[in-house]
Amino acid sequence: MKKFMVGTLSAFLAISLVACSNSASKEESGYSIQKVKVKITDDPALIGEIGIEDSKGKMVDVKPKALYYEFKMKQQGEHKFYQNDKDEIEAKIIPNEDLKKASIDIIGVNVFVEGRDRFGKGMGIEEFDYMKNGKVDVHYGLGATVKNKEIPMAPSDQKLKKLQKAARHGTLVITRNNKEIGRYDLETLESVKK
């Protein structure tokens, strides 16, 4: 009887572990990227405007330019795991050496480094629909379109086109509650290991 109980308990534990690991892997299965668009833009509907104090102390809105990434994504696991992602996921670009060099050569700094106060970063998430499709965008400030005291002027459109050409030389990283759940090669859109 004792052997039967131990055998039954062992079988139950094994089934529980398999079930837990299956649900955890489903939860962590993340997303697939269906499509990416990259552009240089100053469209305030996409990247906003920045309030800056002018020489007379009055607040004025300044349009920045930004390197803008738009990702069409699909959730891979069960929908219940993603219900709060609009508030909980973050996205960032990790440039490879080519993109980092292009940023430094053209802008003067690596704009992908977190915490730059003169060059901002933004991110937005469009709600995922019942088909588990949604949109995530990430943008990195490249400078202002008008002269001001706080943000340097953006380089010429011709120079920025060179940056845009190198823009997919890197990796998109998605985190949920500060825990990495996916990395994707920007050129192939395939999932990659850390």
Residue pLDDT, tens place only, 114-138: 876 678 899 988 877 778 888 999 9
> pLDDT value at position 114?
82
pLDDT-above-70 percentage for the chain: 79
pLDDT in tens, 8-37: 434 444 444 444 434 343 445 578 999 999
pTM assigned to the model: 0.80
Query: Domain containing 102: what range?
Result: 31-185
Weakest mean pLDDT among 69-73, 90-94, 115-119: 115-119
Tell whether 79 is covered by a domain: yes
C-beta neighbour count of 101 within 10 angstroms: 14
Q: How would residue 6 be classed by pLDDT, with cut points 50, 70 and 90?
A: very low
pLDDT surpasses 90 at 159: yes
Cα separation, 152 vs 107, in Å, equals: 9
Q: How would residue 139 be classed by pLDDT, with cut points 50, 70 and 90?
A: very high
Tell whether 9 is covered by a domain: no
> pLDDT value at position 190?
94
pLDDT surpasses 50 at 161: yes
Sheet holding 179-185, edge to edge: 89-95, 170-176, 179-185
pLDDT surpasses 50 at 68: yes
Q: Are 68 and 93 in contact (CB under 8 A)?
A: no
Tell whether 16 is covered by a domain: no
Instruction: Name 40's Cβ contacts closer than 8 Å, sequence gap at least 6.
Output: 65, 66, 67, 68, 142, 157, 160, 161, 163, 164
Tell whether 166 is covered by a domain: yes
Instruction: Report how many domains make up the chain.
Output: 1
What DSSP element (H or E) covers 100? helix 97-107
Tell whether 17 is covered by a domain: no
Tell whether 58 is covered by a domain: yes
